[in-house]
Structure 1
């Protein structure tokens, strides 16, 4: 994922947390904040140490990033912060994809 698609700074995370709205299901919490001046979405990912060791956490992050790059044409130009919950550690990519599509439909972020 390109650098301009990422949210890395703490102040950017805090801005989306405070100004945006959240939607959740059992596997993910997604905070969204509309950005009309952007030409593409931005993504921040948070995976807690409670979900496993560094290898497992990075695997979860790679799968979430792969979902967003695969579906980038169908997503609105919004800032997203994805927080993974406990059930994600036992899921494969297709289950993660289904769950993220579900929560993004609830948030009305799919074109």
Structure 2
């Protein structure tokens, strides 16, 4: 993911946590904060040590980034998202992570269009 699509600073994470709305399922918690005038969405990731060792945590983060990158056109652009991976996310495949995140984004109301299959 490009740098402009990432949230890195603690103040930005805290703003999303404090002012954003949260939606969750078994694998992920997504905090969404609407930011008008922003040309694209931004993603912040949090994967705790409870999820697994460094290899597992990095794999989960790669899967989340890939899912967000493939669905860039489907997500509303004027949002900051913080995605927190829960423990069951460690056992998911790439496709399962994508499906689970799509489910959470739809529940949050930030999914712009329906998938054509």
Report the TM-score when normalising by structure 2.
0.93
Q: Unmatched 5+ residue regions in structure 1?
A: none
- What's the counterpart of residue 115 of structure 2? none
- What's the counterpart of residue 95 of structure 1? 96
Show structure 1 runs of 4+ deviating over 6 A: none
Following the alignment from structure 1 to structure 2, what is the Cα–Cα distance between the partners of residues 72 and 11? 24
Would you say how many aligned residue pairs link Structure 1 and Structure 2? 111
- What's the counterpart of residue 104 of structure 1? 105
1:43 deviates by 0.2
Following the alignment from structure 1 to structure 2, what is the Cα–Cα distance between the partners of residues 14 and 45? 13
User: Over aligned residues, Cα RMSD in angstroms?
Assistant: 0.6
- What's the counterpart of residue 76 of structure 2? 76
1:35 deviates by 1.1
Following the alignment from structure 1 to structure 2, what is the Cα–Cα distance between the partners of residues 65 and 88? 14
1:29-108 residue pairs with structure 2 within 5 A?
Answer: 29-77=29-77, 78-108=79-109
